[in-house]
Amino acid sequence: MSSRLLEVCVVVGASPKKLWEVCQAVDSHGSLEKVLLEPEVLHVLAPPFVSRPQAERKAGRSHWRRHHSFLRKKRKRRPSAVTAPIQDHFSGGDAANGREGSEDITVPKDIDLIALPQLCFPGGLQVTNVKREDQFHFLVFTDVFGNKSHGVVMQCYRPVQDWMSSCENGGKSKLFSAYGFCVISKYPYFTVLKDCLSCLLIKLRTCRFLDVEEKVKDFAAKLALVPIPPPGQLHLMFTLHHLTIELPSREDKDHPAVDLDLHLPFLCFRPQPLLQVLSCLLQEQRVVLFSADWARLTLVAEGLLLFLQPLSWQQPYVPVLAEGMLDFLMAPTAFLMGCHLCHFKEVAAETNDLILINIDNGSVSTSCSDTVDLPEIPSLAADCFTQRYQSLQVHFDLDQCLRVSCSDINDQRAQRRVWQRNLNHRIQGITTELIVNIFRDVSSHLNYEHRVFNSEEFLKSREPAERLFYKNVLETHIFHRFLRDRLNKKMDNFARLELSTRSEMQQIKASVEVPRRPTMQEIQARRTSSLLENRLINGQRMSLSNLVDDQTLNFQRIIMFDPAQRMPPKPVKVFQLPEFPETLSFHAVQSYYCELIQLLGKAINSVQIDNSSLLARYFYLRGFINLLCSRRLDALADFQTLHKTDTAIFPTQLVTRLVDSLMQEEQQQAKRRPELKRLILKVKTENEKPSVQLDDDIKKFELPRKNLDREEFVRCIQEGGIVKDVATIHRLFDAFTVGKSKQVNPELFKSFYTFWKETETEAQDVNLPTEVIDHLDHSECVYKLSSCVKTSHGVGKIGMTQKRLFLLPEGQPGFLEITMFRDLQEVKIASAPFLLVRIPSLRIRTSGRLEAFEANLKTETELWDLMVKEMWAGRKMADQHKDPQYMTQALTNVLLMDAVVGCLQTQRSICAASKLAYFDKIKHEVPMMVPKSTSETLKHKINPSLDLAEPQTVHVLLYTPGQLTCNDSKDEMNPKLWVALSGGRLVVFDAASWSMLQDSIQVGESQLNCMLGLVHEQVWIGSQDSVIYIIDTHSLTCNKQLTEHRYEVTGLTLDAGEQQSSLQTYSCSRDGTILQWDSSSLKVKRQFQLSCERLSSIHIHGDALWCCCGDSIVELRRSGTPQRRLLLPEHLRSSSSHFSSFIVIPEQGQLWTGLADSGDLYLWHTDGHEPSLEKISLTGCSGITCMIRVKDQIWVGCRGRSGVGGQCGSQLRGQLVVVDPQSHMVSKELQAHSDSIQTLCSAEDRYVLSGSARRDGKIAVWKVE
């Protein structure tokens, strides 16, 4: 894509011959009837406008060609048929006078000069005897690949006699003809280009007609000097004929720049018609805009499409149709087009099924009716949008009432820009909120692993009145593109707003994998909503503000606060470009670029070092300008710094072409500069990799049609949105294949799936008495209701939530709690007398109650016995292991049991369901008692692999403290837990509530080895791919990379003794390289090489740098000079033995070390001349993986030893040992992981967090005493 403001400038008007004929006709007849002429292209101006002097071109011919080969594509020369009338027109018919216009003209290949004249004069080119007012309109061009160009057209009238005076037999009548000046850009800078053309108009009014060509060329050449600002908050400003013009940047690379007044649709439409228009676009109807003002068509259309973001219009889009293009409206596909209002009746009469939108009076109709019979946007989202609409202040004059009047037009324009920027931000927040409210629940029906969207279940979850709207939207291209972005987990404004505005209950549901059921709070909200609707229907008035302010109403479906207040606009920095050169010679342009480079250098030096975002944008601009000046190595150096500072705006394709264009001499110079050599190597390496395209495939869930083996069964269950966990699905498969061949037939799967989904649907409509809702917690859901049975407390229905059993008495309101699952003492099947027989019953004993509860559940007895025992076992394990996921898993098992029994309906159904009683089985097979020390120390457990099908290894943990002085948002005030999983996957938790803030940040594709938090702004992450990735803790994005290491980065440490303003950070890589960084400037201050087998970690203590080097621990001075080396004892040396971790306690002269294949700790006393060694044996440990020091304790993560308390079933256990460094004794042995512990971290010395390998994959939170 072009990085200049101007792509091409085209002058359009009537040909000299046609104008001469009109003049002759008027002179002959003495009157002028309405005359429409065919507009033609008169002049085309496209960059470059200057070239090197001939001598310099010959000296560096190949050099220059290679430079331009990647800045602009090769263009075919236009045929002479185009250039001839241009030369004749501007040279007064004398084409042989040697003017510069006789050169061939090059035109960008995607500019259609055939259709352009009609679009420049959509109402026709008319010759008049009265000079008309100059006017503007706007165009959008779309090529076959969907790439857009944007044009602004200025129509100005000049007397025909201005050029006729030099011709023989010139006309006598005073006639005027319009000329169109069209400026085209790859970017939607409508306001900027309009301002620029307005400046040109001032020049044109005072110049001779024969000088127009030079004026236009000078104008276009100046615009071609204006670079496009990179995405972000840096705007550019330039002065054109004393008018200051600001060039806004894009918010990010995925969104266009917003350079128009977004409130125009709000001025044209009331809330209801505006929502109708957006509904039509979301349903991809054939939409036609009408206005008597050509300019309004494009501006309103562009605003409407921006309102739909992040949904992107995929259908034909022609906001301005010339009179000769009306047949486009007969296209059978969906489209968005614009016509002049005078064609309204004609279009309505001759077309069918068009949505006709009159911008001028704000009405919406169809070609068949005055009303639109299309489903409307869901009412809750529409009502919220309406309230926001009514609260907007869209009149600039009202805002200026209290302000001092500006005497300078540029000051007044600056005030208007600031006001408009803030208003645009607020409008974008409102429209993003609307889209979030409409599509918030889409993500809960997605299966990311298999890229499946369960549209049927999504539609069932909608209100009946809304389903037709969603059904239409789900079939559109615009929604398919939106789905693709959701499945790719794109973090855009929609995702950020949806994530930040989740209710507490939605966060809880997102943090556990549990089947969907309405909570008591949601049921109460639904009832409140229904009561309010009835009051409105019955004529009881209520204001919309009161309706929306009710915090219980619309609890789950709409946002209850203004998103613009949650995400205020970011501050903008404006950079002033130099004054344009007076003459546009090659040397003048080079001087202009040199001055611009100098100004950018000053700006870079003046920026605070911690404002890396602004620095990155300056480096981007300077790199591009250096490239235009053929300073390729300087450009490469700027892009290298940019790559380190912000990879989000790194121009990969441009830099790739730059590297390919380097001459031999430049390549040699680059190799002598290490930073350039690394960038060139990275670019070439990336080019050699096969290109990875984002997966666009989206599948709809379909029931299987053939027998399913185990693998296919797992896939279908996951795609159906039933369960993700592979182990659970394997147990379900075993339940269905008891005593049969190991395949599930499609009829059985369909029966199970139908039963499961019908149960979910019925649960949404459950009608619970008010007494039940009052007694249950807000977060509780009713998951099972029995049929009406006789119990020891009367007749009624037994209900089950995730916490308790309760009885609903039949025939009277009431609520009787049977038991909490944690209070159960005994559950068994008994028998109760009934007439002459005994029927099975379920007997439940609860602690604290003498009398047992008994229910004659008849045929349901065995199922309820299985379910209650499983919930009891799950509750007991959850309490003992401080892990709520055990309870969630038990609940899933119970619901699967219910579905298995419900779909099988055979005698073997209970036997099959018993295969799912996982926790009850563990309860009987393995002792469930957790050691007292573990139970007292363990506080909580977290599953970071919750949204994955299988657990992953927790490789690294990092805790970052909260910011008590932060005012930006609630989340940023809370501490965070950073979790590095396999494959470069990073998960972030709010460490105050342990809720997930970010389910996935992709940090490269390799294993992450180490993490380090810097103050409150950054997290550094070392990876196996040799890169240090830097995460912004506020935006949770990874836009910075340090690539100075050549091998995998294994360790990071911070010099806590340095000043906070200049933190010194050390990193190490496997090959023994140690780098000292200035963390503010991200520059290497010092580098030294340590000779060792494998450098795995480093720590700073005082003036020494301690390094773990496989078979030795090395102490270095700050200068990098080795001070001492402690070797692995000779009797422990083997091919597999190496130090895995160490801790230095300098004040006690202690060095604690652990070996990967030994269950012993080795303590070195380093005070003496010769270090002495002491061994501390750890019971049940087969290897030490990690260690940390917390307060006056040493916490050691281990692998459990087989056969010594190290087994749970067939799984290896992890062990955590707490050692007292004073007594050298083990004070605690803790067990909470079913696999080896991989990493430890401390949370402000109050808690220790341990992460385990993939068979467990969980994080345990331990209290430090």
Q: Is the pLDDT of residue 1202 over 80?
A: no
Query: Would the pLDDT of 412 be above 50?
Result: yes
pLDDT over 90 (residue 91): no
Residues 1135-1144 have pLDDT tens digits of 667 889 999 9
Q: What is the DSSP letter of 165?
A: T
SS (H, E, C) 1010-1074: EEEEECCCEEEEEECCCCEEEEECCCCEEEEEECCCCCCEEEEEECCCCCHHHCEEEEEECCCEE
pLDDT of residue 1033: 85
Report CA 56 to chain centroid distance, whole Å.
48
Q: For the ranges 274-278, 512-516, 1050-1054, which has the lowest average pLDDT?
A: 512-516
| Residue predicted with more confidence, 537 or 239 | 239
Q: Is the pLDDT of residue 983 over 50?
A: yes
470, burial (CB in 10 Å: exposed 0-12, middle 13-18, buried 19+): buried
- Express each pLDDT in 516-527 by its tens digit: 677 777 777 766
Which backbone phi and psi does 1064 adopt, to 5 degrees?
A: -105, 120
Cβ contacts of 317 within 8 Å, gap of 6 or more:
140, 142, 301, 305, 335, 336, 337
Percent of the chain with pLDDT over 70: 85
pLDDT tens readout for residues 767-800:
788 878 888 888 888 899 999 999 999 999 999 9
Q: Which helix (H) or strand (E) holds 904?
A: helix 884-904
Spatial distance between the Cα atoms of 317 and 320, rounded to a whole number of angstroms:
9
Mean pLDDT lowest for which of 313-317, 467-471, 941-945, 991-995? 991-995
What residues does 176 pair with on adjacent strands? Answer: 128, 159
pLDDT of 90 strictly over 50: no
Does residue 1102 carry a pLDDT above 70?
yes
Please name which of 1153, 1151, 1157, 1114 lies closest in space to residue 1134, comparing C-alpha atoms: 1157
Q: What is the pLDDT of residue 1059?
A: 45
Q: What is the CA radius of gyration of the chain?
A: 37
Per-residue pLDDT averaged across 1172-1176, rounded? 85
Report for 139-153, 307-321, 362-376: range of highest mean pLDDT: 307-321
Beta-strand runs (E) in 147-191: 148-159, 176-185
Running DSSP on this structure, what letter comes out for residue 77?
B
pLDDT attached to residue 334? 94
Give the DSSP letter of residue 336.
Answer: E
User: For residue range 904-932, what is the model confidence (pLDDT) as tens digits?
Assistant: 877 789 999 999 999 988 887 766 678 88
DSSP annotation of 1085: E
Question: To the nearest whole number, what is the mean pLDDT of the chain?
Answer: 84
Using an 8 Å Cβ cutoff, are 245 and 194 in contact?
no
Count of CB atoms situated within 10 Å of the CB of 932: 8
Query: Which secondary structure element, helix H or strand E, spans residue 733, and what is its range?
Result: helix 726-736
DSSP state of 788: S
> What integer pLDDT is reported at residue 508 of this predicted model?
57
Q: Is the pLDDT of residue 721 over 60?
A: yes
Which residue, 73, 246, 254, is CA-closest to 649? 254
pLDDT class for 1092, splitting at 50, 70, 90? Answer: confident
Contact 913/901 with Cβ under 8 angstroms? yes
1044 Cα distance to chain centroid: 28
> Alpha-carbon distance 978 to 988, whole Å?
5
pLDDT of 559 strictly over 70: no
Q: Is the pLDDT of residue 617 over 90?
A: yes
Q: Output 940 or 539, whichever has higher pLDDT.
A: 940
> pLDDT category, 1107, cuts 50, 70, 90?
very high
Q: Residue 513 has what pLDDT?
A: 58
pLDDT of residue 106: 59
Mean pLDDT of 256-281: 95
86, pLDDT greater than 50: no
Q: Report which residue type is found at 393.
A: Q
Token reading at 895: 């619901």
Cβ(365)–Cβ(356) below 8 Å: yes
With bands split at pLDDT 50, 70 and 90, how would you rate the model's confidence at 766? confident
Distance, CA of 1221 to chain centre:
47
pLDDT band for 108, please (50, 70, 90 cuts): low
State how far the Cα of 1082 lies from the Cα of 1041, in Å rounded to an integer. 9
Please check whether residue 887 is in contact with residue 802, taking contact to mean a CB–CB distance below 8 angstroms.
yes
Give the pLDDT confidence score for residue 213 in this predicted structure: 86
Residues in the chain: 1265
